[in-house]
Structure 1
């Protein structure tokens, strides 16, 4: 699934009047200036600039749906693993504690991974401020 780059709020086109070109031409001459400072002549030039800057991170060979399915499968596998360990290796209170924490623990680890790996799981084209 090819995702188009999304504007991150720092690369929007702003139309400005060029004072030097306007003085030479005798009329208002406008050009586009990106919010990051890059000057382009028209929207096509700005689109080329924005596409170059807003490259979508993450592996192109693995679709977003497959990344989400792998994340969900890892959480389910962790919960099942904790339950199997509790059933087969533990007894008494330790068994009950691990069984009780299997679901919330797996959910917490899965959400932690989702937050840490978000740029690779569901990329949106945003980059850190440079």
Structure 2
């Protein structure tokens, strides 16, 4: 599931032409950057589900953020790389909860990869 998160980060960087997609200066800043995109409510739901606690250092850093729609990252330079299938795959890969991310086999069955599967027949 960690590799699928990494794939999601790379995929976001590729389709939105923003690499790295989450560019934090340190571990604390990295989580803040992620939370500004994926939202803090979802982060706190994840922490509650697994009885995890954030480092107290985050108390003054994290704030509250709504989840940003992926469409906010689409612009004239990257719109040709973004499809509904790409957005759906990205949304499944970049989930806080590792159990909600697809396995590699499940990801390869995603409609985004249909042209690859059809081309190999």
TM-score, normalised on structure 1?
0.22
Instruction: Calculate the TM-score normalised by the size of structure 2.
Output: 0.23
Larger relative contact order (Cα-Cα within 8 Å, sequence gap ≥ 6): 2
Larger helix proportion of the pair = 2
More strand by share: 1
The structure whose Rg is larger is 1
